[in-house]
């Protein structure tokens, strides 16, 4: 902003509005970029959940029969062997789904850097007007 003493109040107000408009546009652009970045992280988290489902199903199909057979041969009745194997695989799937859903919490998707910048900008504008 220039410091020309002959500038009218209207011209000064127009300059101020132009700068505020530019600042708002910059903050919106930053928020958009940050949200895009966070959505990519959310996509990766969804990929983890899908991967967990695929791994759990594959593991249940391939290993459960082998483990049930091994436990049965070790002397545990077949029904109990199947129950033990099923619970073990269910726990593994639960841990994987829990990790994926924790990565999808809304707090991890919020544009925190933009929020900090907007608060800082608002404080700076407030200080400028408080000084006058």
pLDDT tens, position by position, 86-107: 898 899 889 989 998 888 876 6
- Distance (Å, whole) CA 63 – CA 72: 14
Domain membership of residue 123 (yes or no) is: no
Domain membership of residue 107 (yes or no) is: yes
Look up residue 111 and give its two tokens. 């544009």
Look up residue 37 and give its two tokens. 């970045």
Domain membership of residue 49 (yes or no) is: yes
CB neighbourhood size of 79 (10 A): 10
Count of domains forming the chain? 1
pLDDT 10s digit of each residue in the chain, 132 long? 455 666 787 788 788 788 888 888 888 888 888 888 888 888 999 999 999 989 988 877 887 889 889 999 999 999 999 999 889 889 988 998 999 888 887 666 667 777 787 788 778 777 766 765
- Distance (Å, whole) CA 3 – CA 22: 20
Range of the domain at 53: 11-111
């Amino acid at each position: 902003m220039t410091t020309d003493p002959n500038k009218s109040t209207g011209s000064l107000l127009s300059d101020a509005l132009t700068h505020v408009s530019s600042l708002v546009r910059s903050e919106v652009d930053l928020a958009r970029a940050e949200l895009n970045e966070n959505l990519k992280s959310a996509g990766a988290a969804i990929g983890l959940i899908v991967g967990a489902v695929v791994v759990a199903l594959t593991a249940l199909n391939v290993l459960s029969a082998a483990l049930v057979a091994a436990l049965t041969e070790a002397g545990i009745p077949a029904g109990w062997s199947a129950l033990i194997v099923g619970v073990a695989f269910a726990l593994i799937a639960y841990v994987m789904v829990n990790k994926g859903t924790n990565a999808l919490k809304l707090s991890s998707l919020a544009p925190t850097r933009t929020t900090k910048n907007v608060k800082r900008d608002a404080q700076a504008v407030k200080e400028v007007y408080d000084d006058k």
